[in-house]
Amino acid sequence: MARVHLRRVTRDNFRECLNLRVREFQQSLIASTTQSLAEAYVNPNLFPLAVYDAEACGYEQPEVPVIGFTMYEVVAGVGFIMRLMIDEKYQRQGYGRATIIEVIRRLKLYPDVEIIATSHLKENKIAARLYQSLGFQPWNISYAISHPTEVYLKLQD
Ligand SMILES: CC(C)(COP(=O)(O)OP(=O)(O)OC[C@H]1O[C@@H](n2cnc3c(N)ncnc32)[C@H](O)[C@@H]1OP(=O)(O)O)[C@@H](O)C(=O)NCCC(=O)NCCS
């Protein structure tokens, strides 16, 4: 089973993060890493992370590449998975699922986090399947009404 190592985005790995690419049909489904890092620069509630294969754990200068990017937000009792992407070269090998599992583990460590949630565009069937298989269910939060193109999900405890 694939396992990942998540690491802060720093001067050492940010270029690799900016060079991540998804498949052409996926490009409209997510914000660019550039945009995510800009958002994180001005919002201290956001935690952007580079995704590596678990092999990178323990190495200050990993010899394995950055294979994806994720970002979560901790605010108002919610740990919200805002971004998830795996580079096109590394998709369908279990890294997307492993990344969500690792992000959930991290979010559960915050005393403030009472709900773990996420959202994706309605047409993103791959994300829908992935989140459903991990136990996410529809989340009827009132502000979802003002985002009709988006599906809001929360992890059932
Ligand atoms: C969503 C994404 C992160 C999945 O990453 P991944 O590493 O390919 O995912 P995994 O290999 O862990 O697969 C997990 C599950 O996703 C689904 N899935 C992944 N690729 C799929 C595809 N091409 N077609 C159908 N289902 C797919 C399957 O349910 C799969 O589970 P299975 O292998 O048991 O069938 C990746 O496709 C991606 O970066 N997409 C573009 C960005 C995006 O849509 N992000 C989510 C928006 S919030």
Q: What is the mean pLDDT of the chain?
A: 96
Residue whose structure tokens are 């010899």: 63
pTM of the model: 0.96
Which residue out of 91, 121, 139 has the highest number of ligand 1 atoms within 8 Å of its CB and is therefore the one to mutate? 91
Question: Of 133, 96, 141, 95, whose CA–CA distance to 115 is shortest?
Answer: 141
Task: Say what angle helices 95-107 and 125-133 make with each other, to 10 degrees.
Answer: 50
| Share above pLDDT 70 across residues of the chain, in percent, rounded to a whole number | 100
C-beta of 71 in contact with ligand 1 (< 6 A):
no
Strand partners, 121: 150
pLDDT in tens, 69-86: 999 999 999 999 999 999
What's 38's domain CATH number? 3.40.630.30
Strand partners, 5: 52
The domain of 74 spans: 4-155
> Quick one: average pLDDT of 10-25?
97
Q: How many domains does the chain have?
A: 1
Residue 144 predicted with pLDDT over 90: no
Residue whose structure tokens are 């945009």: 35
Residue 155 Cα to ligand 1 midpoint, Å, equals: 18
Which residue out of 118, 126, 151, 153 has the highest number of ligand 1 atoms within 8 Å of its CB and is therefore the one to mutate? 126
Joined tokens for residue 42: 């001005």
